[in-house]
Structure 1
Amino acid sequence: MNGTDDLQPDDEADDGESLSASLEDLANSVRERQGKKRRSDDKGRREDNSFEWVNVPEQEETQTTDSIPFETIDDASDVLVLGPVQGADCDRNCTALLSYAVPDRTNILAVTVTRSANDWLSMWQRYSSGSPASMVVVSLGEETGGAPASTTISTQSGPEQITIETVSDPSDLTRLGITLSRLISDISTEEERTAVCVHSLTALLQYVEPRRLFRFLHIFRGKLSSVDAMAHYHMDPDAHDKQTVGVFRSLFDTVVRITDDGDLEIVSAP
């Protein structure tokens, strides 16, 4: 995937009646390709245009004891975090996932929807004990008031500079894709790890049809995989029907959830 058009989604609209079938088709296609990948150990992505209608199966949740050992997801390229997308438990676990590796050798890219960049930075400072090598915050839905869409600020603690990018329209996946593709290329290095947070899929689904977001995430995950980045995505399962949650879960090999005690536990893993 090269150039800035990598993450541009399919703009086709769906009727409510056909949306379920479209999501199922996409999920089944992804599962089939993932199965071929595991069997052949082939890291390349293959297109398969033959779809068969199969219901997304109910997935049993497997509990672990206490909190999740982060080394168990060290090799995961991306993780779906199921649980509340607001509050201290969400913020604390988000920060932990971003900084579980050596913080000063990690480049952080945060994508936040409806939450201001300042709020996200305040969250980081509240719960993080380390300083990343660099940090970029992409704020969706935040009005710039005539200010530039890209701003670099200096900090007294943490990274010397933090870049804030603004995409005023959360439904504009084309612009978001171009922005993220450029930023990922800019911050990814061989010496440092790239860690990404998308907060949250639940908020994005208020602006984007599920089918478009599914396709966008599928391409976005491929872009991250090409630079060996680790990403996590927040989703509140109580805000969506079971089928929608199941379809988006099918994108991820590793799924964790926030427990009632505020810890993370594994739902599914490779």
Structure 2
Amino acid sequence: MADSDPAPGTNTLVKAPSLSPEKRGTCLSMLDVVPRQRLDVLRISYSSSPEELVEEWRETHGDLPGRMGIVVVGDGAGLTRASDEDLPDSVFVTTANPNDVTGLGMRLNNYLTDLEPETQLAVCFDSLTELLQFTDIQSAFKFLHMFAGQLREVDAVGHFHLDPDAHEAQTISRLKPVFDDAVTCS
């Protein structure tokens, strides 16, 4: 891990326009924190299919990490999900209802309880902008505070995407205390 990379137990707010190429590059580099066999990646996505996330990883990094979890938040409409047979055995997929933050938290907690002792967990939450379309700021803050705390407890490296152009400054300010650091991409 480079000196500029987040340390284990760190949660970073990544402020970038939703379709920014720099957002994608920053995300993928923040997930690649240790050698692949020791890496456990958890991706929470409101808009990408599991196949897209696996393909994106392979295009950027080659070999998949030792374990990859993908939580697809949504009703699945518009996602190009073929079947579990199309994904490697090291990729675990689950879904969550976007209107049920408690259910999402339970799925994430289940993934965290299955961590192997010698692995490094890297987490991408894409995105807070979409989370806030389904829940109010107070509920989002409580959920994020709880989840960020769980990530710190397991020394995960987490980052959370937010499109600053889609929110008032007050909304971003309310969420900032959850995070240890913030990065702005164009």
Q: What do residues 213-232 of structure 1 show as CA deviations (whole Å, max 9, x unaligned)?
A: 10001011111112111110
SS at match of 2:152: helix
* 1:106 equivalent in structure 2: 39
Between the aligned partners of 1:174 and 1:79, the Cα distance in structure 2 is 22
Name the larger-Rg structure: 1
Between the aligned partners of 1:182 and 1:199, the Cα distance in structure 2 is 19
Q: Does 1:226 align with 2:184?
A: no
Between the aligned partners of 2:85 and 2:69, the Cα distance in structure 1 is 9
Between the aligned partners of 1:184 and 1:197, the Cα distance in structure 2 is 14
Between the aligned partners of 2:55 and 2:23, the Cα distance in structure 1 is 14
Deviation at 1:119, TM superposition (A): 2.3
SS at match of 2:56: helix
Query: Please, which moves more after superposition, 188-197 or 71-80?
Result: 71-80
Q: Does 1:192 align with 2:125?
A: no
Q: What do residues 77-135 of structure 1 show as CA deviations (whole Å, max 9, x unaligned)?
A: 21110112234322222111001322321101110013222222222222224431100
* 1:183 equivalent in structure 2: 111
SS at match of 1:206: helix
SS at match of 2:64: coil
Query: Please, which moves more after superposition, 205-214 or 93-102?
Result: 93-102
Tell me which amino acid in the other structure corresponds to 2:93.
Answer: I
For structure 1, list consecutive stretches of 5 or more residues without a partner in the other structure: 1-68, 145-149, 261-270
Say which of 73, 78, 93 aligns to 1:140: 73
Tell me which amino acid in the other structure corresponds to 1:170.
Answer: P
SS at match of 2:92: strand
Identify the structure with bigger relative contact order (alpha carbons < 8 Å, sequence gap 6+): 2
When residues 89 and 100 of structure 1 are mapped into structure 2, their CA distance, relative to the original with a 3 A threshold, is same
Q: What do residues 132-183 of structure 1 show as CA deviations (whole Å, max 9, x unaligned)?
A: 1100100011438xxxxx957543xxxx43111111x212111111111111
Say which of 10, 14, 34 aligns to 1:81: 14
Q: 1:151–1:165: 8 Å Cα contact kept in structure 2? A: no
Between the aligned partners of 2:129 and 2:140, the Cα distance in structure 1 is 11
Q: Does 1:162 align with 2:95?
A: no
When residues 162 and 111 of structure 1 are mapped into structure 2, their CA distance, relative to the original with a 3 A threshold, is same
Between the aligned partners of 1:136 and 1:194, the Cα distance in structure 2 is 10
Seq. identity, %: 30
Q: 1:77–1:230: 8 Å Cα contact kept in structure 2? A: yes
* 1:254 equivalent in structure 2: 181
Between the aligned partners of 1:137 and 1:250, the Cα distance in structure 2 is 26
Tell me which amino acid in the other structure corresponds to 2:17.
Answer: P
Q: 1:80–1:256: 8 Å Cα contact kept in structure 2? A: yes
Size of the aligned set, in residue pairs, is 181
When residues 152 and 190 of structure 1 are mapped into structure 2, their CA distance, relative to the original with a 3 A threshold, is farther
Q: 1:111–1:199: 8 Å Cα contact kept in structure 2? A: yes
Between the aligned partners of 1:235 and 1:79, the Cα distance in structure 2 is 11
Tell me which amino acid in the other structure corresponds to 1:143.
Answer: G
* Structure with the higher fraction of residues in helix conformation: 2
* 1:244 equivalent in structure 2: 171
Question: What TM-score comes out, normalization by structure 1 length?
Answer: 0.61
